Amino acid sequence: MQRYYVPLTLALALCFSFTAEGQDARRFDAEIGHLIQKRDSLQLANPILFVGSSTIRMWQGLSEDFSEAPVLNMGFGGSQMSDLLYYAESLVVPVRPRKIFIYEGDNDIAAGKKTCRIMKDTRRLLRLLGRELPGVPIVLISAKPSPSRWAFQKKYEKFNQRLDRLCRRRPELAFANTWNIMLDEAGRPRADIFIEDQLHMNRKGYELWAEALRPFL
């Protein structure tokens, strides 16, 4: 019987290019390439960086909402905490930001990841950023409630509690709670702050976020 051998370095590369859930960690390569080109063309000096999934990417009025400081939007839609970890060295570190706002975890939970797994990725990301960008403050934004994912309410709340607890233990971290302001009087996601897909926010929703996040600038 003929045997085939795969070099160890190739086998390891193939292994680590996939997340624990089997997703190809390089599936965003093209989008990340465009973001890096955008970053380099803007040449902002030590901006406030917003990075994360489509909730960040779709924030069209970010610069206007925070006109008091230079801000850079590097969101990439559909991403999870593990994806941001994978791309952080090429996407985040070269920005040399004065502060970082991170929104991840929303898609992780919807994809079936357990809170402990997401938190493990979060801690690994924070270790990397702490090593490469020492002293830079980081704001972790809570996972948001949305009508389309309301079935995951308890999981989102558990994740947010874990993020809050983590931030309370580390002076360079802050937790921005956007959950409560997005609920109506009945304790459900407000119907007037989402677009048709019932997942992403409309302009009114982003105005709420801007008000909630401004104190963290």
| Residue 23 pLDDT grade (very low, low, confident, very high; cuts 50, 70, 90) | low
Label residue 24 by pLDDT band (50, 70, 90).
Answer: confident
Higher pLDDT, 154 or 23: 154
| Average of per-residue pLDDT across 9-21 | 43
Give the predicted TM-score (pTM) of the model: 0.89
Q: Residue 20's pLDDT band (boundaries 50, 70, 90)?
A: very low
**What is the average pLDDT score of the chain?**
92
The mean pLDDT value for 141-163 works out to: 99
Architecture of domain 25-216: 3-Layer(aba) Sandwich (3.40)
CA 13/CA 156 separation, integer angstroms: 32
Distance (Å, rounded) from C-alpha 102 to C-alpha 100? 6
Furthest CA-CA distance within the chain: 70
Residue 156: name the closest of 135, 170, 142, 176 by CA. 142
* pLDDT tens sequence across 77-133: 999 999 999 999 999 999 999 999 999 999 999 999 999 999 999 999 999 999 999
156 close to 168: Cβ distance less than 8 angstroms: no
The residue written with tokens 């599936």 in the block is 27
Average pLDDT rounded to a whole number, residues 203-215: 98
Terminal C-alpha separation, the chain: 65
